[in-house]
Amino acid sequence: MHTPNRLVKESSPYLLQHAYNPVDWYPWGDEALQKAREEDKLLLVSIGYSACHWCHVMEKESFEDPATALLMNRYFVCIKVDREERPDLDHFFMDALQSVSGQGGWPLNMFLTPDGKPFYGGTYFPPQSIPQRIAWKELLVQLQDAFVKRRAEIETQANNLLEHLQKANKVVMSGAFDLALPASEMFPNLQVEKIFHQLMSIADRVDGGFGHAPKFPQTFSIQYLLRYHHFFNNNESLEQAMLSLKKMMRGGIYDHVGGGFCRYATDGQWKVPHFEKMAYDNALLLLAMTEAFQLTQDAEIRVNLEETIDFLKRELLDQSGGFYAALDADSEGVEGKYYIWNKDEFDAMVGEHAHILGDYFSVEASGNWEHSNILYTKLSANEWAKKHQLLIDQAHEIISRAKQQLLKTRSGRVRPVLDDKIILGWNALLATALLQAAKVFQRSDWKELAVKNISFLLHSFFDSGKGQWKHTFKNDVAKFPAFLDDLAYLIQSLILLHESTASSKDLLLAFEISQYVIDHFSDDEKVYFYFSPKDQNEVMVRKVDLYDGAIPSGNSVMAWNLYRLGIIFDQSNWKNRALMMLKGVEPLIVKYPSSFGKWANVYLELNQGIGELVVVGKHALAASIGLFQCFVPNKVVVIGEEQTDQIPLLNNRPVLEQTQFHVCQNYACSPPVYAVEDALKLLLTKSFPV
């Protein structure tokens, strides 16, 4: 083993993986940047994350090789970055990479001038040249040679790239519009229909999902289809949403033994996953499955949802109440080794029903993937029961026992590496998902899990001395200023937490953090929000991120937050800002809805108008439980069990023994009703004064 480099002092599991490379790695910071300036050396910034398979491959092939390290150390100042710790750096350098090469991904290797300006980059580079990819060592030599002989060209290229990135980051509003227009005119049905048809044009009608391999869950698009069905009674949209969820739930992207979803499938049928498991993917899929269950009461969804939460509790939950970031794709250096089975091993574990269980889990003697078996199902449990002439309850019992035995056996294997840092935003997404599932399935244990999680986040991620929120937490230390995503997701979770607690403190804190975001993240036009706070100046271009990728854009979530908090606290300026944000990206939403999926959902909800439901009474929380069995995404719920003058939507509503449900829009309310069913009927039929 080599002498440790500077990364040995870091807490990130990804950086620690590189701490004993012969490469003289630095973490991102002044020390490395100053060294490059003083020694007049090019900078190499290499970005990845702990669950990244190709990051591990390049490390083994190149960064652990002494001859390669010698070149890197001689000619470059080398910096390693965990993209999950520093998404601001990752955004900036990914934009730079896509601008110079048209490609993206990880590992992200970017070369910078001594003053820190990017000029060239790529993703994975092999140790020997192959078609379309230069060898890593050969590239290093060529770049150093160019730096010595053609430095002026490199400097010009870097300056041009930086200018391009600065221009590309400007958000141009699509034109003037009247904020006083009714929602149906500002967000017309015609645009909503265009979004639907655009999504369906790329939908896979056979295997579910959208586009071709590799396939990602695209939960925002599924949620849009669920909403489109709900509002317009469109069965095509529901069928595509359910097909997508069912194919994922039955595919190899889902862990049929331990629960939980992998990040994406490498094929078009969801059979072969990229085996890494991320906290955020499972949060977003929980939300989509919960909404689908509200609409369909589908029993298969309930099983997968319960198993996914069991996975989160078993494998990602810290005793603090926080959730870890991810599980690696690799085990013992082999991708997927932890999850796959040979037939003899499978048969021995499941026992007497091995033959029919092999049929259920698609186990083949020669293997269904690289001479081993990824477990996936072609039939639902009920269809399989009919095929083998089993009673439904008997079939479920056989499958359940087999899963328990396989899980017990698998737990004895070498587990994939755990990325045990806790990320504020990803945890807030999980809290939101758990709160929604707890309300729909009336599971107090899931609610307690979410409440404990949010309590931990509020306690551990706020530096009261500096008045600053933080991004990651590990070893009892919170690090790095929080980014827009972190706080947008946290605000969203607090708005939804109120629906489970009836505490006005949740809403007041959501309001307070929103004001913090407005003060510290607003862009120059006071419409959108920068990804990083105003006192964070390590990145040359302060990005306004609008794209809903693997996780929703902080801006799209802030539009959702500001509109709802604008209603709750009677802040018309917040509502108007949300409207401006949506109108500004409207052309992008309509043209590229799969890339602006959260935006599309907010757009559709505003198209339908946001109903206001005020529940007041000494037992209002208990009385409101039934509200959430029904799918009504375009609503704001405020619950009052105590008199308060801090929540305008609750003003002048006496707290009586009998619970009252007030259904309103723009603070104009129908006469109160006294049963959940009546309140839901008013909401669904939009029976409130206009």
Using 50, 70 and 90 to split pLDDT, how confident is the model at 185?
confident
Does residue 179 fall inside a structural domain?
A: no
**Is the pLDDT confidence value at 333 over 90?**
no
List C-alpha distances in Å: 190 to 106, 186, 232, 352: 39, 11, 13, 58
- pLDDT reported for residue 535: 83
What 3-state DSSP class applies to 196?
helix
The two tokens of residue 473 are 């937490």
Q: Mean of the pLDDT values across residues 232-251?
A: 98
The label of the residue with tokens 């071709």 reads: 212
pLDDT at 688: 67
**Domain contains 177:** no
Task: Share the mean pLDDT of the chain.
Answer: 95
Same domain, 362 and 444: no
Q: Is residue 253 part of a domain?
A: yes
Q: Does the residue 178 lie in any domain? A: no
The CA-atom distances, in angstroms, between 682 and each of 611, 612, 631, 639, 650 are: 9, 11, 14, 17, 19
Q: Could you tell me if 584 and 174 are in contact, meaning their C-beta atoms sit under 8 angstroms apart?
A: yes
Amino acid letter for position 545:
D
Q: Decide if pLDDT at 68 tops 90.
A: yes
Question: In the prediction, which pLDDT does 690 show?
Answer: 59
Residue 458 has pLDDT above 90, yes or no: yes
Are 395 and 539 within one domain? no
Question: 561-613: per-residue pLDDT in tens?
Answer: 999 999 999 999 999 999 999 999 999 999 999 999 999 999 999 999 999 99
If you average pLDDT over residues 138-150, what whole number do you get?
97
Domain boundary (608, 631, 665) is at 608
Residues 124 and 24 in one domain: yes
pTM of the model: 0.95
Query: Do the domain assignments include residue 199?
Result: yes
CA neighbours closer than 13 Å in the CB half-sphere of residue 148: 7
> How many H-runs (helices) and E-runs (strands) does the chain carry?
26, 20
Q: What is the reported pLDDT for 652?
A: 87
Query: Is the pLDDT at 174 greater than 80, yes or no?
Result: no
600 & 617 share domain: no
Tell me, yes or no, whether 193 and 316 share the same domain: yes
Residue 1 has pLDDT above 80, yes or no: no
Encoded tokens for 443? 């599971």
Let me know whether 430 and 579 are in one domain.
Answer: yes
Last residue of a domain, one of 412, 443, 464: 412
Q: Do 255 and 235 belong together in one domain?
A: yes
Are the CB atoms for 643 and 668 separated by under 8 Å? no
**Percent of the chain predicted with pLDDT > 90:** 89
Instruction: Verify that 205 and 124 share a domain, yes or no.
Output: no
The answer to whether residue 119 sits within a structural domain is yes
* pLDDT for res 181: 85
Percentage of the chain exceeding pLDDT 70:
99
Containing domain of residue 377, as a range? 343-412
State the CATH number of the domain containing residue 19.
Answer: 3.40.30.10
Q: Which of 48, 67, 79, 83 is nearest to 136 (CA)?
A: 67
User: Based on C-alpha coordinates, what's the Rg of the chain?
Assistant: 26
Contact indicator for 579, 179 with CB cutoff of 8 Å: yes
Q: pLDDT at residue 445 above 90?
A: yes
Q: How many folded domains does the chain comprise? A: 4
pLDDT at 171 over 80: no
Which pLDDT value is given to residue 172? 67
Q: Name the residue among 520, 585, 533 with its Cα closest to residue 559.
A: 585
- Structure confidence at residue 173 as a pLDDT band (50, 70, 90): low
pLDDT given at position 689: 66
- Is 534 within a domain? yes
For position 497, which CATH number holds?
1.50.10.10
Task: Report which of 76, 3, 90 is spatially closest to residue 33, judged by C-alpha positions.
Answer: 76
Mean pLDDT to the nearest integer, 462-472: 94
Residues 619 and 604 in one domain: no
pLDDT score for 175:
66
Are 492 and 627 found together in one domain? Answer: no
CB 472 within 8 A of CB 480: yes
Using the 3D structure, point to which of 412, 432, 463 is the last residue of a domain: 412
Q: Does the residue 328 lie in any domain?
A: yes
What mean pLDDT comes out for the span 397-420? 96
The CA distance from 377 to 319, in Å, is 34
Does 407 share its domain with 424? no
Task: Verify that 141 and 224 share a domain, yes or no.
Answer: no
